[in-house]
Amino acid sequence: MENITTLEERLEAARQRLVSDTSDLTEKQLETLKFSFELDHGTPYFKIKHFVGDAQITPYQKYKQFLLELRSREEVLENFLMNIAKQEAQIEVIYEEMAEINSPAKMKLKEFELITNKNDLMKMHRRLKQAYAERLSFIKAIEEMYESGEAYLPDGTDLKDAVLDEELSLKLEEEHWIQRLGKQAALDLLSSGKVGTGNMDAISMMSTNNAVAALDVAVDWATRVNSAMEQIQSSKIKELANKKFSIELIDTPKELN
């Protein structure tokens, strides 16, 4: 340590003390560890399209959800950019404080503080990049709705205009909940044969006409799924009729002595 004189050399020496011990890892394992830091862990586009967008049942609600998610990502970006600016300023402050320190022990503590802040800044930049990618994914999801025609009502009205039209928006919201509660009730029918108390209670909160419409959706959807399952099962039985197969577990547990 006595031969280390410059600040950068001291920082590098201190940084090395904070690096985790990887001596028990093989080269392949070490490569996997490094790859976990390099990989983008943002929301995959498939998940955005199907489990964020399509989960909303109707195109109207899907469009609104994408807009909500897009706004949320923009707010995240604003926060990241602000925090990065503050973090960079904090690092400048630490450098200024280090210039006035005479105690070697206090200098070591300040050097570790500097490393911690620099590491945090690096993580912020990594998350910023991820946030930009997610924002672009939601923009692409909305663009895809326009390309497929899903962003237009049957009469050609743009959903952008629809969400701004109070009367039309109210009508589309009503249709959404009929479909939404109907599909939820259908899942009850498929799993237990009757509409659950929670979904029935929600359906009963709507007008009589809307409640009947929701139950119609439930029965229609449940019947379609049951019919599809029967067809698939029938087809699969024919496919396996002349095949030899086993349903035993691969690893059969040994009998206890």
Q: Chunked in runs of 10, what are the mean pLDDT values of the chain (257 residues)?
A: 64 73 86 80 86 91 96 94 95 92 90 91 90 94 96 96 95 96 96 94 95 96 95 88 70 52
Q: For residue 125, is it within any domain?
A: yes
Cα 220 to Cα 226: distance, rounded to the nearest angstrom? 10
Residues 172 and 154 in one domain: no
- State which H helix or E strand residue 201 sits in: helix 197-204
Residues 5 and 120 in one domain: yes
Residues 124 and 11 in one domain: yes
CA atoms within 13 A on the CB side of 157: 15
Domains contained in the chain, number: 2
Q: Which residue type, as a one-letter code, is found at position 174?
A: E
Written as six digits, the tokens of 142 are 């909305």
pTM here? Answer: 0.78
pLDDT at 41: 75
In our burial notation (b when 16+ CB lie closer than 10 A, e otherwise), range 23-46 reads: eeeeeeeeeeeeeeeeeeebbebe
In terms of residue numbers, what domain contains 214?
A: 165-239
Boundary residue ending a domain (159, 182, 199): 159
Q: For residue 254, is it within any domain?
A: no
pLDDT at 5: 66
pLDDT at 136: 95
C-beta of residue 185 within 8 angstroms of C-beta of residue 199: yes
Q: For residue 248, is it within any domain?
A: no
- State which H helix or E strand residue 79 sits in: helix 59-98
Residues 8 and 60 in one domain: yes
